[in-house]
Amino acid sequence: MSQTIVFPQISAAQAATDLLLQLGLINACEQKRCLDLFAYDFPFSDSVACCESLHIHVKVDDAADLPTKPLEAAGSQLDYAKEGFVKYLFPGGLNLIFSSIVIAQDELAETDENRRKRPFVDHFGIDLRDESPRTKSIFDQVPFIATQLGWEEVPQGQEGGGVHCCHVEVSEKHWVFPCGDAPQPHIPMEFAFGPLKVNDVVGGCDIRPMSPSRRASMGDSAPTCGH
């Protein structure tokens, strides 16, 4: 029997973010930015309309110290866990990811003095698993739309080697960084194309890149590690 795909709905995003807000894992501004993904005038609404799932990636001080009972009581199912990284499947096509390991180049630039206070939303993920020509066309339009908005974009995986995260990989990613007149807070968005494949051969993690403007502002002190 084929598996029924449940596309994410705003009701699921509302329920998930209400729970995260109640647990103190996100704030009200971050919740609004998540719900904005479902707005009719969201610039990437075509991507949301055809994605298989959305995920909210929250940075925490200790991924081993999560309020697991309320998450499970709300119907979340543990999908994957390793030291410093936990992924839950929330009902309605929402995935909740919590990490305390380094998953972004911005974290490589942190010091004891400038470390960002946890928890906070590192990024929202729009998971385009379908490899149909239509979905690929929508994915390929992401950089153009970002440019039209005056936002920044960084690709990953265009060399054909895929993009790796822990034990899985996807074909390609576009990272979009809202800026300028974009609503605050400026939370990055990850557009991932291709099915999620288990990869037991290639290790490591292609971490989230830093926005081009922040990298430029840091000059020679910008981190260079890609994974």
- According to CATH, the topology of domain 10-221 is 2,3-Dihydroxybiphenyl 1,2-Dioxygenase; domain 1 (3.10.180)
CA distance 35 to 13: 7
CA distance 227 to 63: 20
pLDDT tens, position by position, 43-89 = 999 999 999 999 999 999 999 999 999 999 999 999 999 999 999 99
pLDDT at 200: 59
Is 181 a residue whose pLDDT tops 90? no
pTM above the 0.75 mark? yes
Domain ranges of the chain: 10-221
Closest CA to 190 of 128, 138, 121, 123: 123
Q: Answer with the residue of higher pLDDT: 177 or 182.
A: 177
Amino acid occupying residue 1:
M
Closest CA to 119 of 36, 63, 69: 63
